[in-house]
A and B are shown apart, each in its own frame.
Chain A
Amino acid sequence: MTATVAAHRLAESATSWLSGGIHHLRLDPDDDSTYKSLGETALAAAIILREGVAGAGQRQVARDLLEYAWWELGRGDALYACQAENPASTDPLEIYAHFARAGLRHPALEELLRHLRRTRPEHTRELVPNRRLAVANAARITGLEPSADMTALAARTWLGAATAPWLIDRTTAYGMTHTVFHLTDWGADPGGLTPEMVGYLEVWLPVWLDVWTEIAAWDLVGELLMVDACLPAPVCPPEAWTGLAEVQRPDGRLPRDAEPGPDEPGEAFLHDHHPTVVAAVAGTLGLSRRLHAPAAAA
């Protein structure tokens, strides 16, 4: 199996599993994680539609997932209610951005967000630097007037400082991956990374991938492969893609780690929703980069 085939299989199979179990994911207004999971579903669907490398069947599944999540959020009304309830929250903007990217809009929410832009939402809460980038990129995707300099925000991240690569821990690794996602707008613009960041990642990404593969941290491994797909040219070996595809279950579910996770379908879906979203996005970006860059490793 080549990396291209593995990436394709990862994405297609993961999308199918998400589609089959999406009815288990219902909005609970008192549970922030349900907003987040619906937003991540929209992220996966929007990236699949943006990249345009999926077949007709998978594209339709992506549209259905997007529509389901949008419907579950009251076509944006639930996000509007959240934002009205807590004007300082950045969550509604970050979730809304994925729908807005795919053309699903909520004019009243956007009017409120435009007003809140003037309060510089990247700074209205004590956010760690990569989270500030998340807010800035969400605003960029949504088409709101920029209120933050992405380059200046990036310089304050862990990746921006490029310190001792052996001191990265799991939390920092997730922060690093998200710095890359936001600066490149989820792989759309590798030029969003500084040359120093690219050079640093080219050396160290294969090391981190190796270490977290060894301990079966599949969710993080998927995110690290997403980072690889966000670089100007991939640096991770093809075996990393085929290895993750082999871990994925035949039905498309990607376990988050070496623990098998629950068997009951509803519990299983919520348990492994995130890693499987990661598989769908990583596979889509990995496939897209290989199809659009013939010189890249197969």
Chain B
Amino acid sequence: MATRVVDGLESGHDTGSPAQFVAVCPSRSRALAAIRILGADTMAGAALPGPDDRAILIEAVGTFAQPGPDPVADWQEWAMQRAAGVTHRIPDALPFHAGDSWKTFAGALVALSALATPKLDGPLHDAVRDRPAAIARGAARATMRRDHPTAAALTRWLVLLQWYGVRVPLDTGLLLDHLRLLGGAAARTALDVAVCDRMRR
């Protein structure tokens, strides 16, 4: 699914909706799981969702609903509902706290990289604007540890901050090229890099 989204982002063509993806996958449950993992990014390279896509996105959320309270999952689901064009209540709590260390803060944002897009805005995005150094530290740490998927996810937040006009303490273009050349072949990393490229255009 991530590869299809990257193709869509890079080619500029609609490379398939979530509904089509589920239709061609041999396992429906695995297809739904892939969509739930990719979250709102499922729609990153696609045209506006049709009714079938909406139904699939909502089904993916419902199938893998968290049994207990989980602010990260709440925000992921909020973003998926927004991507599906469905109005959804903004989660009550942020997935981080004001006093969190840079590492904890950046760690919370990794799983929320699908929210790092100009298409979404909310209280979480307002809170993230204030901590560019914490995110940059997380991105540099991940790059040093060769954890390229994490580095790409955090770089995406940094590029979004730049899109907002916030100064960030590292050269995101340089880091993106590093990830492009040395970041491995993981589709998820490629997706985050492609979304960054689109934001920087």
Contact = CB atoms under 8 A, between A and B. Distances in A.
A239 to B, nearest CB: 9
Contacts of B137: 203-204, 206-207
A170 B31 CA distance: 44
Interface string B118-138: 000000000000000100110
Interface string A208-244: 0011001000000000000000000000010000000
Contacts of B102: 206
Contacts of A210: 103, 141
Contact of A166 (B101, B133, B175): B175
Contacts of B144: 166, 168, 207, 211
Contacts of B143: 166
B111 interface: no
B103 A166 contact: no
Interface string A92-114: 00000000000000000000000
Interface in A135-181: 164-166, 168
Interface range, A side: 10 to 19
Contact of A164 (B103, B133, B174): B174
Given A164-B170, A164-B171, A203 B145 contact: no
B178 interface: yes
Given A207-B144, A210-B141, A165 B101 contact: no
A204 B140 contact: yes
Contact of B141 (A164, A207, A237): A207
Nearest to B137: A207
Contacts of B136: 203
Contacts of A166: 139-140, 143-144, 175, 178
Interface residues of B, number: 18
B169 A203 contact: yes
Contacts of A164: 170-171, 174-175, 178
Interface string A192-214: 00000000000110110011001
B42 to A, nearest CB: 30
A211 B169 contact: no
Contacts of B178: 164, 166
Contact of B140 (A165, A214, A237): A165
B140 A207 contact: yes
A204 B136 CA distance: 9
A207 B174 CA distance: 18
Interface in B1-34: none
Interface centre among B103, B141, B175, by most chain A C-beta atoms within 10 angstroms, is B141
Contacts of A165: 140, 170
A211 B101 contact: no
Interface centre among A165, A206, A237, by most chain B C-beta atoms within 10 angstroms, is A165
A165 B141 CA distance: 9
A211 B174 contact: no
Given A164-B170, A164-B174, A211 B133 contact: no
Nearest to B171: A164
B170 A211 contact: no
A168 B143 CA distance: 11
Interface of B: 101-103, 133, 136-137, 139-141, 143-145, 169-171, 174-175, 178
Interface of A: 164-166, 168, 203-204, 206-207, 210-211, 214, 237
Given A164-B178, A206-B102, 18 more contacts: A164-B170, A164-B174, A164-B175, A165-B140, A165-B170, A166-B140, A166-B144, A166-B175, A203-B137, A203-B169, A204-B137, A206-B137, A207-B137, A207-B141, A210-B103, A210-B141, A214-B145, A237-B101
Ranked 5 nearest A-B pairs via Cβ: A166-B143, A166-B140, A207-B137, A207-B141, A165-B140
21 contacts: A164-B170, A164-B171, A164-B175, A165-B170, A166-B139, A166-B143, A168-B144, A203-B136, A203-B137, A203-B169, A204-B137, A206-B102, A207-B137, A207-B140, A207-B141, A207-B144, A210-B103, A211-B141, A211-B145, A214-B145, A237-B101
